[in-house]
């Protein structure tokens, strides 16, 4: 555990947004005197003069708000106020006016704990599904232990073993990142092939506007959902075609930009169209991971959709009207997004800063075999 330095800092340590209670943590030589100055207790006595009582109700003088203050250490206090941003920021402003510096929750926590413990705990608060929360909860204890093991290996001059362990951790970086950051799935295709209808079917409600007029979708429509327990952002894009309409042209440009950033691209075709002269060109341009042949309920039995360009890519046939293939589509997306998962003993970074520190340490080991121990350990701290 790190010893706090002599400074005066404050931070909202609970997640931002609507909530019942927000917690503002305060630390420093001025903390006790500032609490006494700002807090009006029921009997008027200073909070720090109380003995055998570490929690007290009172009114914050500058806001008139009822709140609770708790003492966590000689120079460490917590102020529990209403959860809205206005209330917590008002408390923080009164502290900064009295010489405190506002820092992030991560910076504040690192004053008292190891970086790897704090950053993983904060990542846990950002989990969007119970499945990702389980992976992160396991790492809260395992990751700091793994880092300490690597420190011990470096101290014992077992650098090759340390490098191997770092490489193993980094190989799962993308998986770790997506425990808190949803994967992006983009639906693209020509106008009026049913992309918006598919988004609505997978979301389970009317999220996107649907109309039989081509070009109805002009902007990118996003929908958050979970597929097989993994957080996903589904993006419905404008139909891609040649157009002189400036608004539609802008929508098409946005669609192409989203495709370039996607973790998974789905190209949707209208299976009822028996002539698909541009499908091969479209597939070559978008390079999809998955193809959906939609509107199977309209497929003429005597003229089935047949395009050789779709045979080398995973393909699912769907009908929103009859609900055919929707479950298969969702399952296929899940399987393609996460094709492998780490075992229970494998550790890996879950934030950009964690990844950066591990990568810098590994690069240093590989490029500077004789690097000093202190230099290597400094990158892991």
pLDDT exceeds cutoff 70 at 184 = yes
Same fold, 9-113 and 183-337: no
Integer Cα distance of 351 and 193 in angstroms:
38
* Residue 253 confidence (pLDDT): 63
Place of tokens 């030589």: 29
Over residues 59-83, mean pLDDT = 92
Closest CA to 17 of 91, 126, 137: 126
328: confidence class by pLDDT, cuts 50, 70, 90: very high
Integer Cα distance of 158 and 369 in angstroms:
11
* Residue 209 confidence (pLDDT): 40
Integer Cα distance of 24 and 60 in angstroms:
13
Domain residue extents for the chain: 9-113, 116-169+352-380, 183-337
Integer Cα distance of 98 and 34 in angstroms:
7
pLDDT exceeds cutoff 60 at 109 = yes
pLDDT exceeds cutoff 60 at 241 = no
Question: 3-state class of 75 per DSSP?
Answer: coil
Tens digits of residue pLDDT in 124-179: 989 999 999 999 999 999 999 999 999 999 999 999 999 999 999 999 999 999 99
* Residue 4 confidence (pLDDT): 42
User: 60: which strand partners?
Assistant: 39, 65
pLDDT exceeds cutoff 80 at 240 = no
Question: Thinking of the domain 183-337, which architecture would CATH place it in?
Answer: 3-Layer(aba) Sandwich (3.40)
Angle at Cα 316 formed by Cα 311 and Cα 320, nearest 5°? Answer: 145
Question: Thinking of the domain 9-113, which architecture would CATH place it in?
Answer: 2-Layer Sandwich (3.30)
Tens digits of residue pLDDT in 25-63: 999 999 999 999 999 999 888 998 877 668 999 999 999
Integer Cα distance of 222 and 183 in angstroms:
12
pTM of the model: 0.71
């Amino acid at each position: 555990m790190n010893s706090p330095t002599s400074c005066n800092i404050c931070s909202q340590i609970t997640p931002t947004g609507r909530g019942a209670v927000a917690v503002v943590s305060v630390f420093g030589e001025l903390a006790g005197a500032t609490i006494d100055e700002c807090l009006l207790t029921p009997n008027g006595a200073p909070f720090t003069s109380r003995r055998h009582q570490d929690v007290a109700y009172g009114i914050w003088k500058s806001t008139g708000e009822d709140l609770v203050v708790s003492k966590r250490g000689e120079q460490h206090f917590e102020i529990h106020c209403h959860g809205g941003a206005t209330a917590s920021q008002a408390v923080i402003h009164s502290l900064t006016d009295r010489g405190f510096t506002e820092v992030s929750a991560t910076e504040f926590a690192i004053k008292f704990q190891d970086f790897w413990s704090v950053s993983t705990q904060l990542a846990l608060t950002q989990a969007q599904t119970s499945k990702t929360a389980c992976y992160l909860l396991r790492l809260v204890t395992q990751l700091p232990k793994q880092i300490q093991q690597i420190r011990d290996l470096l101290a014992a001059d077992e650098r090759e073993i340390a490098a191997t362990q770092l490489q193993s951790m980094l190989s799962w970086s993308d998986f770790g990142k997506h425990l808190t950051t949803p994967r992006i799935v983009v639906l693209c295709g020509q106008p009026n092939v049913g992309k918006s209808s598919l988004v609505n079917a997978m979301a389970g409600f009317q999220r996107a506007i649907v109309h039989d007029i081509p070009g109805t979708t002009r902007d990118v429509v996003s929908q958050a959902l979970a597929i097989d327990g993994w957080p996903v952002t589904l993006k419905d894009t404008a139909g891609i075609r040649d157009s002189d309409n400036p608004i539609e042209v802008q929508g098409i440009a946005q669609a192409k930009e989203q495709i370039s950033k996607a973790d998974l691209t789905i190209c949707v075709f209208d299976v009822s169209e028996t002539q698909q002269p541009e499908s091969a060109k479209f597939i070559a341009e978008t390079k999809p991971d998955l193809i959906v042949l939609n509107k199977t309920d309209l497929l003429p039995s005597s003229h089935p959709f047949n395009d050789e360009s779709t045979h080398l890519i995973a393909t699912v046939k769907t009908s929103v009207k009859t609900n055919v293939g929707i479950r298969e589509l969702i399952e296929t997306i899940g399987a393609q997004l996460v094709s492998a998962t780490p075992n229970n003993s494998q550790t890996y970074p879950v934030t950009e800063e964690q990844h950066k520190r591990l990568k810098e340490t590994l690069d240093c080991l590989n490029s500077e075999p004789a690097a000093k121990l202190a230099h290597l350990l400094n990158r892991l701290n």
